[in-house]
Structure 1
Amino acid sequence: MITVNIMDAAMTYSKESGYVGRVHFSVEGHTHDYEITLHSKRGTEWGYGLFFLNQSGKEEQLEEVEDELEENDELFDQLVQAAKDKLAPK
């Protein structure tokens, strides 16, 4: 289990693109911060990309976060909710 600190989040919605969001976060014990980009046409099933935020870090650490996101629905939902909380009202 990893400990995540959310630093920033954003989300937009358009009829054409659906929901597009991003969350910047740090992981306890990791040298570099991360960005997850999120996309969902209807706001239910989410696709994502995970990247280092400002500069590349250790591939093993990125893979550790990726594995945790795949296994830990609560963590993934926390990141999605952080972005959804920033969605401007329609």
Structure 2
Amino acid sequence: MSVVVTEAAMRRDEEGSYVGRTVFSVEGHAARYEITFYSKRGKEWDYSLSFAGEPGSEEQFLALDAMLEEDDELFDQLLDAALDAGDTGSGEEG
């Protein structure tokens, strides 16, 4: 599956927690997606997936969400895009 990142950002909030987002498209999906990331220390990441703009197929959305749970490489690709774009210091996960 081909993923194209169109926007990415990461920052640290006033408590030092990481807050970021990546907007991307997936080959074969009409809608674009946005995944937001949150981590207190940059190790354990919570995320939320949503449509970026107009909603698309719920079936494709649910399949992508399930894939993010299973495919660490895909998740890391999207997280790394946000970390690389961010103003978070070193970008290290430790």
TM range (shorter): over 0.9
Task: Give the whole-Å Cα distance in 2 for the aligned partners of 1:89 and 1:5.
Answer: 23
Which stretches of structure 1, 4 residues or longer, exceed 3 Å deviation after superposition? none
* TM-align CA RMSD: 1.2
- 2:63 match: 64
Specify the SS of the correspondent of 2:85.
coil
Give percent identity, aligned residues only: 51
Offset from partner CA, 1:4-29 (integer Å, 9 cap, x none): 11111000013415000000000000
TM-score after normalising by structure 2:
0.89
Q: Which one-letter code corresponds to 2:81 in the other structure?
A: A
Provide the TM-score with structure 1 as the length reference: 0.92
**Uncovered stretches (5+) of structure 2, i.e. residues with no partner:** 90-94
Give 3-state SS (helix, strand or coil) of 2:42's partner: coil
State the alpha-carbon separation in 1 of the partners of residues 17 and 88 from structure 2. 14
| Residue equivalent to 1:49 | 48
Corresponding residue number in structure 2 for 1:27: 26
What 5-or-longer segments of structure 1 have no aligned partner? none
Quote the offset at 1:64 in angstroms.
1.0
Alignment partner, residue 3 of structure 1: 2
Tell me the distance in 2 between the aligned counterparts of 1:9 and 1:89. 13
